[in-house]
Amino acid sequence: MKTTKILFAGLGVVLLWASAFPAIRVAAPELGTIGLSFVRLVVAAIALLILAPLLKIRIPAPRDLALIALCAFFGMTAYQLLLNEGELHVPAGTASIIVAAAPLVSVGIAAVAFKEKLTLIRLAGSTLAIAGVALVCLARAGLSLNSAVWIVVAAMVVQGVYHPLSRSLLRRYSAAEVATYAMVAGTLMTLPFVPFGWDQLVSASGPAWIAAVYLGVLPSAVGFVLWGYAVARLPVVTSTSLLYLVPAVAVLISFVWLHELPLFAEIIGGVIIVLGVAGISQGDRLLTRLRRNAQPHVTAHQKTTATGVGR
């Protein structure tokens, strides 16, 4: 029963994060890129601060404030501004497929900044996923680098930067704490842009505001809380695999909600991206397991004979 509850929490995250892409398509045209970013971040920050006593959110140490600000800039402020702008012109399903490739950037940063070994499996997975991203981008953008699809690619890049940056914070704070710090700091960083989007913000319709509040409360606040709960209790393979479902669910929700139909090339590209990212995250683990299982079992008698003990 407990395992089922944890799995449902993980699937709930998939549903909430997938629904964010079509919700942005509903809210962004009226609230504007800046207005939607600000409303979503404010609502999410307030929701997480209200839940702070329940989530046992601590005040961050002063030495971590610079890193928190950096994470908030890439993972919240820059990501949301870029994604909102891109989705003004790019279908929600297409955006979700591109953003799914964010682990490519994380792997590259980990290899350069943290000296993580870039294995053959990771290189192969990265190459495959990059090919998928290119296929998705070119499906609608042709060869024009001025297309809005490249703004979504930029959103994918900054999202990929966020994950390795937050790694050291997650060693000292819970996932809910890191999310709260990032939401609050991201709100403050977005605040200076608000005057430039004020006119659209105050003239937006009710449905646009509802979509924005939904984004702040559910995909942002509740989504991060559920994810922290699930990832702490599920095997890494299971929790990572759940994220592969986000683009597929986003495409389905976008079709039902917005009547958006993905191009065949985008579907193929999405499958290629998922296969590449899966190869990156699971390939090394599987290879290690196979090598361990392939090692011959050594008996106690063989050990004593090999070491000379018992002669």
Q: Going residue by residue through the chain (311 aa), what tens digit of pLDDT does each one get?
A: 677 888 888 899 999 999 999 999 999 999 999 999 999 999 999 999 999 999 999 999 999 999 999 999 999 999 999 999 999 999 999 999 999 888 888 888 877 776 677 677 777 887 888 888 888 888 865 544 457 888 999 999 999 999 889 988 989 999 899 999 999 999 999 999 999 999 999 999 999 999 999 999 999 999 988 988 887 787 766 676 788 889 999 999 999 999 998 888 889 998 998 888 877 766 656 655 665 666 554 444 443 333 333 34
What single-letter DSSP state applies at residue 60?
Answer: P
The pLDDT assigned to 298 comes to: 45
Residue 284's φ and ψ, nearest 5 degrees, are -60, -40
CA 261/CA 140 separation, integer angstroms: 13
Residue 127's alpha-carbon distances to 15, 142, 275, 281, in angstroms, are: 28, 20, 11, 14
pLDDT digits (tens, 9 = 90+) for 10-27: 899 999 999 999 999 999
Q: What is the pTM of this model?
A: 0.85
Determine the pLDDT at residue 283. Answer: 62
Using the structure block, give the residue that is written with the tokens 């989705």. 87
CA-to-CA separations, 206 to 26, 42, 106, 187, 210, in angstroms, rounded = 11, 18, 38, 22, 6
* Cα–Cα dist 75/73, whole Å: 6
Which structural domain range is residue 283 located in?
2-307
Burial 58-96 (b: 16+ CB within 10 A, else e): eebeeebeeebbbbbbbbbbbbbbbbbbbbeebbbbbbb
Q: Is residue 59 within a helix (H) or strand (E), and if so which, with residue range?
A: none
Q: Based on the structure, what is the number of domains in the chain?
A: 1
Between CA 263 and CA 173, with CA 102 as vertex, the angle to 5 degrees is: 140
pLDDT value, residue 231: 78
Residue type (1 letter), 134: A
DSSP 195-251: HHHHHHHHH--HHHHHHHHHHIIIIIIIHHHHHHHHHTTS-HHHHHHHHTHHHHHHH
Q: How many other C-beta atoms can be found within 10 angstroms of the C-beta atom of residue 134? A: 13
How many CB atoms sit inside 10 A of residue 234's CB? 18
Q: CB within 8 A of 305, min separation 6: which ones?
A: none
Distance CA(148)–CA(95), nearest Å, equals 10
Given a contact cutoff of 8 angstroms between Cβ atoms, the answer to whether 153 and 101 are in contact is: no
Kindly state the tokens that stand for 296: 């011959």
Q: What is the pLDDT of residues 181-213, one digit of tens each?
A: 999 999 999 999 999 999 999 999 999 999 999
